[in-house]
Structure formats: structure tokens, C-alpha cells
Amino acid sequence: MSEPTIAQKSPFVLPMKVGSYYFCTCGRSKGQPFCDGSHKGSAFAPKKVDITEDKTVAWCGCKHSKNGAFCDGSHAKLS
């Protein structure tokens, strides 16, 4: 599996508290947008993201963002 699975074609917009989170990069996690270990046996690994202030975050749902774990609108260009 060289391409991630598209979890959804829109961001996961969530209120986040200060802390460290592990973003799912494979798209197979049942706990989107966060890693649940579903990547095991693949070339994918979770991406650690540190949130330094309480805020609303638009996490990438399509797993194709050029902005890491954060939505950059790439989902609008996917077929």
C-alpha cells in the first residue's frame, strides 16, 4: 500500500486541548483522525502533533494534504 486510504473527503474539525496527538497517516484507523495502530505491517507510521494552545483544528481527512496533519483543501482535487 503506497497510497493512503482516503478516510473522508473533508476535514475532521475538532476542538482540541493542549497535548500531543498521533495523527493517522494511513487512513485505515477506526478512530479518525487519530492513529489506532491499523497501519501495522504497512509503510505508514503515525505523525506526532503537539497542540500548544486550546483551539479548533481542521485535521486532514483525505490524507493527501501538503500541510501535514492539517487540511489544506487537497480533498477538493481528489476523484
Confidence (pTM): 0.94
CA dist 65 and 76 (Å) reads 11
Q: Is the pLDDT score of 1 beyond 60?
A: no
CA dist 35 and 33 (Å) reads 7
pLDDT band at 8 (very low <50, low <70, confident <90, very high): very high
The answer to whether 26 and 36 are in contact (CB under 8 A) is no
**Where do the structural domains in the chain lie, given as residue ranges?**
12-70
Average pLDDT taken over every residue of the chain: 96
pLDDT at 79: 77
Q: Which of 26, 17, 27, 23 is nearest to 54 (CA)?
A: 17
pLDDT at 2: 83
